[in-house]
Amino acid sequence: MSIFINETTKVLVQGITGKEGRYWTEHMIGCGTNVVAGVTPGKEGQTVEGLDVYHSVRRAVAQEKVDASMLFVPPRFTKDAVFEALDGGIKKIVTIADGIPLHDAVQIRKAALLEGAQVIGGNTSGVISPGKAMMGFFPYWIERVYKPGRIGVMTRSGSLTNEVTAMVVKAGFGVSSLIGIGGDPVPGTRFAEMLPQYEQDSETDAVVIIGELGGSMEEECARMIRDGLFTKPLVAFLGGRTAPEGKRMGHAGAIVSGGKGSVKDKIKAIESVGGKVAQRPRFVGDHLKELLGK
C-alpha cells in the first residue's frame, strides 16, 4: 500500500501542453506514474507523450477513469483549476503553484474539505512513492535520493527535503511515501491530516517530518501522538532553529504569533510525547535506528 498514489493511480495533468506540463509529464511517466490524459482549454485534439488532451476536466473524465489530478497552472488560475477538478469528481489533487493568493488558498481548502477530497500544496514539490509513482517536479536524479523503503516523509520544505531524505537513505532506510505539504500559510492538507494514513499503512514503519518555524502543524502531530491517534515512531527535523526571536522572517509559512510557532515550542511538544528531533539532517537516520531498534 502507498499513501496518496501508487502505480495503479490514474492521473490527469491539468496544464499539460505548457512547457512545465510537458516536461514533468514525461518525467512522471518515467517514474512509473499512470498518466492517462491531459487538460488545456482550447487545446483539445492535441497529444502530449501519446496522451489525449481535452478542453476541460469534465470532458476528460467522461472519456477516461481518473483518480487524481496534477496541476501545472499559474497561481492566479489555481483556484479555478482545483474547483474544476473537484467538480469532475476527482478527490486527490496536487498543485505546485507558489504564491497562490491567500484568499484563494482558504477557499481551496474549504472546498476540498466539503467534498471529502485532499489537495496537496501549493508551494510544494509534490508527492512520491519511490519505485511506484510521482506527482510533481522531483528532479531527474531522484533515483539516487528517493529509494523505496518503509519510512514515511512529510515536508513543508523544498530544498531540505532532498537533504533529509538522502540522510534517511544513507542510514540504510528508504521511503514508503513522501508528501510535500508545502510551505504556504494555508496548505490544502496539513501534517496531522495525513498521519492516520501512515498509521494504517502496513508498508510504513515510522514517519519523518521536515518542518520549520511558524504555524502549528508540528504541534498538531504531537497532540495526535499524545491522544493515541498515531502510534508509530516519529522523527522531526525543523528548519529555522537559529532564527532570531522577534524578527520577521521572509518565508510565507514562517509566521510566529501568540507565543506559538517557534522552533523551541515545536521541539518541546514533539519530545514530550516520545518523538525525536534531529539537530542536523545527518542525525535523522541515527534517531530512526534508535526508535526502530536497528
Would you write out the chain's pLDDT as a tens digit for each of its 294 residues? 689 999 999 999 999 999 999 999 999 999 999 999 999 999 999 999 999 999 999 999 999 999 999 999 999 999 999 999 999 999 999 999 999 999 999 999 999 999 999 999 999 999 999 999 999 998 877 777 889 999 999 999 888 999 999 999 999 999 999 999 998 889 999 999 999 999 999 999 999 999 988 889 999 999 999 999 999 999 999 987 656 565 555 554 555 555 567 888 999 999 999 999 999 999 999 999 999 985
Which residues are annotated as catalytic? 251
What pTM was estimated for this model as a whole?
0.92
Q: Are 99 and 123 in contact (CB under 8 A)?
A: yes
pLDDT of residue 243: 61
Cell numbers at 7, concatenated: 502505480
The pLDDT value recorded for residue 252 is: 45
Structural domains in the chain, sorted by start: 1-123 (3.40.50.720), 139-294 (3.40.50.261)
Dihedral angle of Cα 158, 163, 169, 173, to the nearest 10 degrees: -60
Nearest alpha carbon to residue 216 among 249, 186, 178: 186
Nearest alpha-carbon partner for 5 in 115, 145, 188, 132 = 132
What pLDDT does 293 receive? 84
Cα 236 to Cα 110, 160, 186: the distances in Å are 28, 12, 21
Return the ∠ at Cα 85 (arms to 48 and 210), rounded to 5°: 90
Q: Are 252 and 173 in contact (CB under 8 A)?
A: no
Instruction: Provide the pairing of β-strand 126-129 with 133-136.
Output: antiparallel
pLDDT at 159: 81
Contact 36, 8 (CB under 8 A): no
DSSP for residue 243: P
pLDDT at 242: 59
| 280: CB partners within 8 A, 6+ apart | 237
